Amino acid sequence: MSALHKKFGSDYQVVTTTSSSHQKDKRRKRQRFVDKNGRCNVQHGNLGGETSRYLSDLFTTLVDLKWRWNLFIFILTYTVAWLFMASMWWVIAYIRGDLYRTHDEKYTPCVANVYNFPSAFLFFIETEATIGYGHRYITEKCPEGIILFLFQSILGSIVDAFLIGCMFIKMSQPKKRAETLMFSENAAISMRDGKLTLMFRVGNLRNSHMVSAQIRCKLLKSRQTPEGEFLPLDQLELDVGFSTGADQLFLVSPLTICHVIDTKSPFYELSQRSMQTEQFEIVVILEGIVETTGMTCQARTSYTEDEVLWGHRFFPVISLEEGFFKVDYSQFHATFEVPTPPYSAKEQDEALLMSSPLMAPSLCNSGEKNSSLDCLELLEDQESTTKLPAKVQKMTGRDGLPRKLLRMSSTTSEMTYSLGELPMKLQRISSVPGVSEEKQVSKTTKIATEAISKSVADFPPKLQRLAGGGGRMDGHLPPKLRKMNSDCFT
């Protein structure tokens, strides 16, 4: 614990997610689509006449059966075949009368020393297993026995190939290889590289590698379409690096699989609070080729919403020893808490966009009827970090000026900007000689002068005396500045 605090800081806390049975009982129980061991909780019912399809693929049907049924069918098939063939040999001996002339040395039977059913059964076993003790054998004066012997050899080869092949395939199935592929008991959501990320861990307990290992994730969630159609267990794809190749794994040591929650993610609007009311299941599928057998193996697991930990990160399990890297699987499922905002990725993107200075043009262009003054007032309200004192705001602000004057001062720039967006033909029409710019400027100056003179009447008496004489407050200015002002007005 002290080493962890020393490495990650005092804000981090180790949480062992291999919870006790008491903590597991507190979890919300609900039906899973895929169990933690990868078994799918799906049963097919009301097949009707479709059950005959299973017999058309009898070999696959036998392989898919459980071991107890496989062993029962294996023993039953051999027992029935042996009893049937022993009965055939006994029938031949009975028809020829060999059972009653066993002690006649001058008589040549079909099968020597077969005088009852047990002896016929032993003869079949010796022939089928190619034991050949030499006491019982077929004579040349029994053509029906020769034909039965050929039929027995062909039938025995077929039964051996079918049943032994079925048992071999079932024993060599790569399902047991999936038992040595581990998944973390919980998934975690935290910040990684500045983005909200869903993470879980996979590991391989064997030294033999999984060739061409690939991982996929599916989100199972019921939803209703805008047309009113209800889709139970709708499957959505979770990107775990398909575009970048990160889904192709080199599974030598435990790896942390990441799904970045962005605008394309189904979890874009998922927050810590909304996750408490959501119901979903994340199905993880790991596929690869077993290095020793060359057969394809698939391992599966799933995570429900109560198995996704918000604000957690997996504990590191790889350490560098003398000459090799050591993996500590005792910490494979362990996580520790990290500072993570409880907001969704969508809310974080909106907050980042509002705080960005590049948001100003988009705010002003969002409304078609907003003037430049309205945009200016909107930006001044949002920029709370640049607030000035009250006295400075009175000196530099626009509170004393009429709104009409400020609107007119922005019309010229707005007209110039709007002309740039018009087609070239309309720009030529708007700039014809009949409408001179001097008339527009003089009209604007006249209106501005009237607004200033009207606003002077609202000033205090002392300011009105300073503003007397032409309406310009330049009586106390130096001569050089007065000359500059007079040049600007003339």
Q: What is the DSSP letter of 111?
A: B
Q: Give the integer Cα–Cα distance in Å for 414 and 405.
A: 15
Neighbours of 71 (CB within 10 A): 12
Map out the domains of the chain with their CATH numbers. 62-172 (1.10.287.70), 176-352 (2.60.40.1400)
pTM greater than the 0.85 cutoff: no
Q: How confident is the model at residue 315 (pLDDT cuts 50, 70, 90)?
A: very high
Closest of 309, 270, 218 to residue 34, by C-alpha: 218
Top pLDDT among 440 and 337 is at: 337
3-state secondary structure of 97: coil
Top pLDDT among 436 and 476 is at: 476
Top pLDDT among 371 and 139 is at: 139
Q: According to DSSP H, which parts of 38-66 are helical? A: 52-56, 58-64
Is there a contact between 213 and 248 (Cβ–Cβ < 8 Å)? yes
Please state the separation of Cα 116 from the chain's center in Å: 70
Contacts of 405 (CB under 8 A, 6+ apart): 448, 451, 452, 455
> According to the model, what pLDDT value does residue 30 have?
75
* 232-260 residue pLDDT tens: 889 999 999 988 999 999 999 999 999 99
Closest of 38, 13, 11, 25 to residue 306, by C-alpha: 25
* 253-266 residue pLDDT tens: 999 999 999 999 99
Rg (CA), the chain: 45
- DSSP for 112-153 reads TT--SHHHHHHHHHHHHTT---SSS-B-TT-HHHHHHHHHHH
Q: Give the integer Cα–Cα distance in Å for 441 and 435.
A: 11
pLDDT score of 16 more than 90: no
* 424-456 residue pLDDT tens: 544 444 444 444 444 444 444 454 445 445 444
> According to the model, what pLDDT value does residue 487 have?
57
Give me the helix-helix angle, 143-171 and 117-128, nearest 10°: 60
State which H helix or E strand residue 440 sits in.
helix 437-456
Neighbours of 247 (CB within 10 A): 16
Q: Give the integer Cα–Cα distance in Å for 383 and 393.
A: 14
**Span 275-300, average pLDDT:** 91
Backbone angles phi, psi at 281, to 5 degrees: -145, 130
* 152-175 residue pLDDT tens: 999 999 999 989 888 888 888 777
Q: Hey, what are 275's tokens?
A: 């996750």
> According to the model, what pLDDT value does residue 53 have?
82
Q: Hey, what are 320's tokens?
A: 């560098």
Q: How confident is the model at residue 98 (pLDDT cuts 50, 70, 90)?
A: confident
**Span 26-52, average pLDDT:** 80
**Span 79-86, average pLDDT:** 92
Closest of 338, 401, 38 to residue 191, by C-alpha: 338
> According to the model, what pLDDT value does residue 263 have?
93
pLDDT score of 381 more than 60: no
Neighbours of 424 (CB within 10 A): 7
pLDDT score of 108 more than 80: yes
Q: Give the integer Cα–Cα distance in Å for 467 and 474.
A: 8
Q: How confident is the model at residue 392 (pLDDT cuts 50, 70, 90)?
A: very low
Backbone angles phi, psi at 31, to 5 degrees: -70, 135
Top pLDDT among 460 and 157 is at: 157
* 344-376 residue pLDDT tens: 999 999 998 888 665 545 444 444 444 444 543
Closest of 127, 151, 125, 154 to residue 138, by C-alpha: 127
Across the strands, what pairs with 178?
Answer: none
